Every structure is written in C-alpha cells, then in structure tokens.
Amino acid sequence: MCTENETAEMAMGQTPQVFMQNIAFNDGTVLPLTPNSIVVFTGANNSGKSQILRDAENCLNKSNESLQIVLKNSLYDFRGNICDEAFLKGHFIINQQGHFELVGSGNSFDKNALSNWWRERTLYSDLHLLFVKRLSTEIRLTVSNALQREIQPESHPIYKLYKSEQLAQEISDYFHQAFGVDLIVNRNEMRTIPLHVGQAPDKEAYTIKSQDEYYDLVSALPKLQDQGDGMRSFASILLDTFTSEHSITLIDEPEAFLHPPQARVLGKMLAKNNPNNRQLFISTHSEDFLQGLLDADNENVTVIRINRVDNINKMSILANSEIKKLWSTPLLRYSNILSGLFHEKVVVCESDYDCLFYQAVMNAVYESKGEIAPDILFTHCGGKSRAKDVVNALRAVNVPVVAICDFDLLNASQNFNPLITAFGEKWSNILSNGMQTIYNNMNAKNSNGINAWEQIKKIGKAGFTGDAPAAYETVESMCKKVGLFIVPVGEMEGFDKTINKEKKDWVYHVLATYDLVAEPKLTEARTFVQAVVDFKIPEGI
C-alpha cells in the first residue's frame, strides 16, 4: 500500500522522476549535481569515458551494482511516486496474475513491492530504465527506423512526433540546421510511421480534402532509415533527447558518424535546449562537439577530463566559471587547442611550422621502428607570448602539457616569467639558480657594443661564455623538469644551418628532401624531439 504522503503525491499527479544528487568516482572525487546538469566526460582513449556511462546506468539498478567500475556510489533524488496511476498506465500492463508488467521488459511486479521500493529509494529488475536512458552508437542507428504500429508505441519518440505537430516541427527545425533538409512525419501509412527527409511540402497549401495529395508528396521523399549513418544517428539523438520522459540521459560519443560542423551544431543544440528536469551525461572524443556545447553558454555545463593511472580514473573537473574564463580567450575558442583534452599529452609550439617539423620527426622515428607513435597533440599558440595561456588552460584540467620555445625566450622575461610560472616553477628560483648570472654575462657583452642576444638567438647555448654555460645548464634542467624545453640550437632552423631559408621554406625543404630518421644533420633534432616525447609529467601537475 502507498503511504499517506505518497497518496497525496499521486493525487497531485506528480510524474515520478529520479535525479542524481551527486556522483562519487573511484579516485574519491565527488561531483554535486542539479536536475539540469550537463556533464561532459573527455580524455584519451581507454580513459574510462564510456565506462562511466555504463556505470551511471547500472548504479541506479540495485541488481547491477556490482558491475560498477569507475563510479563508486551516487545519491539520488526520487520525486513524485511510481504508484501514480497515469504513470503506471503508460508504462505497465496488468498481466493475468494481476501484476504490473513493465512494457518492453517482461518483468512483472506487485504494486506493493513497487511502492516499497520507491519509498526505500531502490530500483530492481529494469525499473531504472523508466528513468535513465543510455544512447549507445549502436542503438542510435535504429531508433529512427519506421515505427511499427502494432507495437505499443505510446512512449516511442516517433509516436510522440506523430501525436504533436508542434513537436514534430521543432525536431525538423533542429534537423534542418544540421543537414539543410526537413524531417517529416508520414502520418498516412497504415502499418508503420516512417520519417522522411527533404523539402517538406507546404502545409498551408493543403486542406483536409487534399491531405492525400500532401502525403503523396511526403511519401515520395526518401525515408530517413535509408539515409547514411550520420543523419540517422543525429535524428535519433534529437528524438531520444527532446521527446524523452527519462530524467537522466546518457549519450556515448554523440559525434559518431557526424561531420565536424554537424557535431558542433548538435553540441550547441543539446546545451541550449536542455530542459530543467533532465540531466545529460555525455562522453565525447570530439573537439567540435565540445565547442558546440560551450558556444551555448549554458550555466549548467561541467567538463571532466579523465586521466587513467593503473586502475584509478583520476577526475579533473572544469566547472562552468572556469569554462567561461577559458572560453573568453580567442586563442582557445578558435584554435584546436581544446583537442588536447582527448590526447595523452600536448606539446605547445610557437608556430604551426614548428609543430609540423617536430611531429614529422617523431612519426618518422617510430615508423622506422615499426611502432605506433605516442598519442601526442602538437599545437601552436601563435607566439611565445601566448604560450602561458595555453599551458594554464590545459593544466587546469590536468592535461599533460609540454612547451617548446626558441632560445630568445630567455631574453624576454615578460614571457619567460609567466610561462615558467604557468608550469608551477617560481621565477625567483630561476633567477637565483642561474638566470641572473646569464643576464649579468649578456649585459656585460652588450656594454661592449655587442648585441649579444641577437647573436645567441641564432646559435643557442653554444654562444654562452664564461660562467654562463654552467648557469644555463642549471636553468635548462629546471625548465625541463617541469616541461619547458628550450631549443638548444637557438631556433628550429638551427638544427641544420646549411639551409639558408625562412622558417616555412626551411621546413618544407627538410621534409621534402631529407630522410628524417637517417639524415646525420638532424641527429640533434631527433635527440631533442625524443626527450620531449619521453618526458613524464610530474604528479600533481
């Protein structure tokens, strides 16, 4: 029997809902949530993104608690009452034994048991599927297929479009933004309710008398189920997300099968139109999808970067306030730097030509050994003055990051100071452990009428004399220890001074004419790149 309070809730017709109040991960991190939270999980391959979604589905089902791996426990907010008569009628049928049989599951329940479980905040035997929906890539390719009318269709997304012209138009408008064509419900077929794509006929040009002509035009359009994976997957996400009664929706790699612009549109749609009574948990490996989410400027978005260390999945949470701060920086908003969230390590260079050369050397070395190159993203920051912004942004979510800067960084303390600080080293330590000695040495040369820094920029540390070489070794060691690598030969072109060309032409010449693995002139370059690749990010970056 339902309690007095539960009966009162039923009388008010409050639809039962379940929300996560917080989730606890296996590294001890606890994330508080609201009923409209959007949580996005990022990280390198095999970091645990998809597993978290499976755990989130299982942890609400007491029958599957033992299957959790990354999520350890969660607190839930149960609202309304599962004994609500309208809810029972919409999701259960009464079988011959008088029990409530869950539609689509086959599991049957005594009403008193349902009431007791709900009061105890526990769900068994697929009851959790009434409140949580996980959209895997496989499921998304079939959800948008024509709905068979003989199946009980009331809760099916396509049936909801069939019943609501307004909802059907909203979904079509979203679909049109991504693909430039309409999504039309064919309400005139007898056995199925299919969706068609193309230019929708003008509804205002037809009356009830001419509706057959209207649907003849609709039927002539291609069916959605016969289109490519991208269209079907995109439509399925729209259908399941914007028509669903589930209070928790889990979406695994929504960008799958989509071109980058469509992934970005989808991300923006999900964040901009998420209702106040739905939680979204999304795992993604797409910078474009993530950018779309951030473009929506939704106050409820939280981004989590996962670093897997042995059997522990370490969570780095980027809250909404931090997202806004980072997203206001044009360098981050309009570059590929956010892709670093999906790689094991990021190497920040001053220019795209530096990236091109260093990555080419790395790939060539590993290919020559028959090995796969490490999962490293080489990205440029548009000059050393901006390197600190990228390093700070990536370290904020524990993305392992290394920077490569030309030798003239040393002469620009306005850049050197904030960059080394971004890596967690104190500028005062750099000064007192060698840098001040270098400055004194170089200033003495300048006082003799020599532009010492201009000379050394082209040759690197070999240009130091007196007490400067020993001082530089200490500074270099301190920089490398935290992930800052200074080009020892001055600048990238210094690895082969026999090529007298500007940076761009130098790179193109080297890549076109040299064997990057065997060329003796590039021995020092290979050693330098290997050191960058082998660098292990210190704990607690």
Mean pLDDT of 502-510: 96
Please tell me the least confidently modeled range out of 68-77, 363-372, 400-409, 506-515.
68-77
SS3 520: helix
Q: For residue 503, which amino acid is it?
A: K
pLDDT of the residue at 34: 95
Over the range 488-503, which residues count as b (16 or more CB within 10 Å of their CB) and which as e? Answer: bbbbbbbbbeeeeeee
pLDDT of the residue at 304: 92
pLDDT of the residue at 164: 93
Q: What is the band of 247 on the pLDDT scale with cuts at 50, 70, 90?
A: very high
Strand pairing of 92-94 and 301-309?
unpaired
**Tens digits of residue pLDDT in 344-389:** 999 999 999 999 999 999 999 999 999 999 999 999 998 999 999 8
Q: What is the band of 4 on the pLDDT scale with cuts at 50, 70, 90?
A: very low
* Residue with more model confidence, 90 or 54: 54
Q: What is the band of 311 on the pLDDT scale with cuts at 50, 70, 90?
A: confident
pLDDT of the residue at 18: 95
Q: Report the C-alpha gap between 342 and 378 in whole angstroms.
A: 12
The encoded tokens of residue 190 equal 């007898």
Q: Is the pLDDT of residue 3 over 90?
A: no
Over the range 433-461, which residues count as b (16 or more CB within 10 Å of their CB) and which as e? Answer: ebbebbbebbeebeeeeeebbeebbebbb
- Sheet arrangement for strand 100-102: 92-94, 100-102, 108-109
* Residue with more model confidence, 8 or 141: 141
Range from 52-61, 321-330, 362-371 that averages highest in pLDDT: 362-371
Q: Is the pLDDT of residue 78 over 70?
A: yes
Query: What size, in residues, is the chain?
Result: 541
E strand or H helix that includes residue 346: strand 345-349
pLDDT of the residue at 13: 56
pLDDT of the residue at 103: 82
pLDDT of the residue at 6: 44
pLDDT of the residue at 95: 87
Q: Check the CA dihedral 531-536-538-541 and report its sign.
A: positive
pLDDT of the residue at 152: 58
Q: Nearest CA to 206 among 198, 195, 217?
A: 217
How deeply is 183 buried, as exposed, middle or buried, from its count of CB atoms within 10 A (0-12, 13-18, 19+)?
Answer: buried
The encoded tokens of residue 250 equal 């889990």
Alpha carbon separation from 437 to 401, 458, 463, 472, 473 (Å, rounded):
28, 21, 15, 9, 12
The encoded tokens of residue 251 equal 């979406």
pLDDT of the residue at 525: 98
The encoded tokens of residue 359 equal 């990555």
**What's the whole-number average pLDDT of the chain?**
90
**Tens digits of residue pLDDT in 16-39:** 999 999 999 999 999 999 999 999
Alpha carbon separation from 173 to 114, 177, 180, 478 (Å, rounded):
40, 6, 9, 56
Q: What is the band of 452 on the pLDDT scale with cuts at 50, 70, 90?
A: confident
How deeply is 60 buried, as exposed, middle or buried, from its count of CB atoms within 10 A (0-12, 13-18, 19+)?
Answer: buried
